[in-house]
Amino acid sequence: MEFEINLFIQIRTKQPLSLCKKWKSNRLKTELLMKKRITFVAVILLLNYCVSIPNYQLSSNMPQIEKNREAKLISAFFGLDNSLPWRSFLLWRNAPGKDGMPLVFSHEIDPTTVDLSDFQITTKKGEIFYPLFATFVPSLEQFELRTILLIGQFGDHPDNEPNEVVIVGELKSRDGQNLIGQKIQVTPLTAGPFISYAEYFRFEDSYPYNTSVHGADCPLLETTVVVRTVWAGGVRAIDGQELGDRELKKFKIEMISGSETFTVSPFKIADIDDNDNNIDLCIAEQGIPKSVEVDADTVIDPRGDRNPITKMEILSRW
Domains in the chain, CATH or no CATH each? 2-48 (no CATH), 52-191 (2.60.40.1220), 192-318 (2.60.40)
Confidence of residue 211 (pLDDT cuts 50, 70, 90): confident
Q: Is the pLDDT of residue 81 over 60?
A: yes
What backbone phi and psi angles, to 5 degrees, belong to 124?
Answer: -60, -30
Question: Taking CA 146 as the corner, what is the angle to CA 235 and CA 153, rounded to the nearest 5 degrees?
Answer: 70
Burial of 140 (0-12, 13-18, 19+ CB in 10 A): middle
> Quick check: bond before 102 cis, omega within 30?
no
The whole-number pLDDT of residue 289 equals 98
Of residues 13 and 290, more confidence is placed in 290
> What torsion, rounded to 10 degrees, do the Cα atoms 234, 238, 243, 244 define?
180
| 85 preceded by a cis bond (ω within 30 of 0) | no
**Each residue's pLDDT tens digit, 26-35:** 555 455 455 4
Q: What is the pLDDT of residues 95-124, one digit of tens each?
A: 999 999 999 999 999 999 999 999 999 999
For residues 154 and 7, which has the higher predicted lDDT (pLDDT)? 154
**What confidence tens digit (pLDDT) does each residue in 139-182 have?**
988 899 999 999 999 999 999 999 999 999 999 999 999 999 99
